[in-house]
Amino acid sequence: MKNKVSIAVVGGGISGLVAAYRLSQEGFKVNLFEPKELGGLLSTFPIGANRLEKFYHHIFPHNKNTLSLLSELGLKEKVQFTNTKIGLFTGRKTIPFSTIINFFNFPPLDFKQKIRLGINTIRLKHQKWQKLIKYPITKFLPEYLGNHAYKIIWQPLVEKKFGSYTDTVMMPWLWARITQRSKKLGYLNGSFQCLIDRLAEKLSENGVRIRGSAVDDMAIKDQCIILKAGGKNHIFTHVLFATPLPVFKKIASKVLSPDFVKQQLSIRYIKAQCLILALKHPLTQYYWININDPKSKFIALVEHTNFRSVDDYNGQHLVYLSQYCPPGNGPYPKNKEEILNTAIPLLKKINKNFSPNWIKSSHLFSSQFTQHVADKQYYTHLPQIETPLKNVYNISIAHIYPDDRGIEKAIELAEQAASLIIRS
């Protein structure tokens, strides 16, 4: 029976790679279509004597799916967990925000505000996210945590990420970020490229054909699914789109019903970009700093070499500066030079000794579909892995709810999709 099944996986990010791996383990004939480098948002670039993710990544100690897969692939010994420091930059200074002592010493809030914030944050963590679907963040959180605490801690970050969409974003999105974060983080010695490479090796061993061409179109005829890629038609019995919803929508537009497109494929996305700087000197003592300065469009500063040793990168200190580009917050820098010019004044505020001559190199990466808008419409019609088209499946960042996107949930989603196809 398996000899009659031919499966296409469209998209070579971590979800696509894991799904193709699981399907090939079951003896199915699998083709993986990916026109760019493998890894998707987890992909890396060379820096120093090592490689670095284009977008910052880490795992948590409770990430069972990730740790299980790494063990299965013989990579568990490469995992190293580290306690990290978190800070909050208000526009004047960076305030430690890692421990309970930091919390009670947090200057912007008085004692009463801290008690209210602390107690209600703990209560919020124990809520079921389904009960929060009807509440917009901007209505619920100021009343629940206190208006001043919301303005200081959460409002700048939510508005920088969602811009004019801010008032439409519902509480489950923020609930997941409050409940699932940890200061103890894990990383792979040698970068997460080790995981991408090992999966690619396994796919090759299992006979998976990796095609370096984009899928442009899809048709269905006589219960066969026809994908057009590289100027040729390829016929399959099952197709898994491990792509953002807009990509799936574009490829399958001729065979999808208007109602399905309207309900599940009209989710809005926000572009994200990461500026990476290789510096001669350390910038801060923190791994992660929330940029709560409303005058800056950057949302976070992540100093990778306060998490990993500078020796891994030929003594270079590596810093990510993250920025989202929602409508209502523009205009945005158009290229690396422009975004670097906006970053330098911020870096001088964060470290008065910083000078542009510290910068040895800079790199800019962007993604159109990193963050979806989790509004009421989204939670009313949550994306499903199975589509109305027989034997056609879709997984993406938007399928991860209410949890935060990341390696763990991408792997879990891939495992679920593979199981559905195997049982079909």
Same domain, 43 and 122: no
pLDDT, the chain, mean:
94
Lowest mean pLDDT among 50-59, 61-70, 193-202, 400-409: 400-409
List b or e across 111-128, with b for residues whose CB sees 16 or more CB atoms inside 10 angstroms: eebbebbbebbeebeeee
CATH number at residue 17: 3.50.50.60
User: How confident is the model at residue 309, as a pLDDT?
Assistant: 95
Any idea what DSSP says for residue 150? I
pLDDT confidence tier of residue 1, bands split at 50, 70 and 90: low
Q: Is the pLDDT of residue 160 over 70?
A: yes
Cross-strand bridge partners of residue 224: 221
Q: 245: which 2 tokens?
A: 């919803």
CATH number at residue 285: 3.90.660.20
Residue 71 domain-assigned? no
Residue 86 domain-assigned? no
Same domain, 256 and 400: yes
Rounded to whole angstroms, how far apart are CA atoms 39 and 192? 9
Any idea what DSSP says for residue 136? B
Contact predicate 39/419, CB 8 Å: no
pLDDT digits over 236-290, tens only? 999 999 999 999 999 999 999 998 888 777 899 999 999 999 999 999 999 999 9
Same domain, 251 and 299: no
Q: What whole-number percentage of the chain has pLDDT above 70? A: 99
Same domain, 254 and 290: no
Same domain, 277 and 363: yes
Query: Mean pLDDT over residues 89-109, rounded?
Result: 92
Same domain, 412 and 347: no
Question: What domain range includes position 339?
Answer: 184-189+269-372
Structural domain count, the chain: 3
Same domain, 10 and 23: yes
Crossing angle for the helix pair 111-125 and 137-145, nearest 10 degrees?
120
Same domain, 358 and 321: yes
Same domain, 416 and 273: no
Same domain, 249 and 387: yes
Global pTM reads 0.95
pLDDT digits over 14-72, tens only? 999 999 999 999 999 999 999 999 999 999 999 988 999 999 999 999 999 999 999 99
Same domain, 306 and 359: yes
Same domain, 303 and 362: yes
Residue 65 domain-assigned? no
